[in-house]
């Protein structure tokens, strides 16, 4: 009986710690978001962005599930914990080079 109570206490502490680590995010329909791409962990790259998108929120479901859509990738459902707000606009993806000179 004592082991059962200890197990129950450990589960309560673990749940409390887990709930503290979860970030509450509010999403609205029509908002732009970025999605975390966990597959890039397999092929690590220092300068490679782990966020893909932007996606448009089409539906907010209960318990943190969000339905997003993209022009080429279609519509799918993803956890709200894997999303973040997209605040940027359209950026030019043109590369530029800068020539460095040796100081005198």
Contact 68, 56 (CB under 8 A): yes
Strand order of the β-sheet with 83-85 is 74-79, 65-70, 51-60, 32-36, 83-85
Q: Which long-range contacts (CB under 8 A, 24 or more apart) does 4-8 make?
A: none
Given pLDDT bands bounded at 50, 70 and 90, which one contains residue 20? Answer: confident
Given pLDDT bands bounded at 50, 70 and 90, which one contains residue 7? Answer: very high
Q: What is the pTM of this model?
A: 0.61
Tell me which of 23 and 63 has the higher pLDDT.
63
Tell me which of 47 and 7 has the higher pLDDT.
7
Domains (range + CATH), the chain: 26-85 (2.30.30.140)
Rounded mean pLDDT of 28-35? 90
């Amino acid at each position: 009986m004592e082991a059962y109570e200890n197990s129950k206490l450990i589960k309560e502490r673990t749940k409390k710690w887990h709930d503290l680590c979860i970030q509450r995010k509010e999403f609205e329909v029509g908002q732009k978001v970025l999605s975390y791409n966990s597959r890039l962990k397999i092929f690590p790259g220092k300068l490679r962005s782990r966020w893909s998108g932007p996606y448009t929120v089409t539906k907010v479901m209960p318990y943190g599930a969000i339905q997003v859509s993209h022009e080429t990738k279609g519509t799918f459902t993803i956890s709200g914990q894997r999303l973040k707000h997209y605040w940027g606009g359209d950026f030019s993806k043109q590369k530029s080079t800068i020539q460095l000179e040796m100081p005198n």
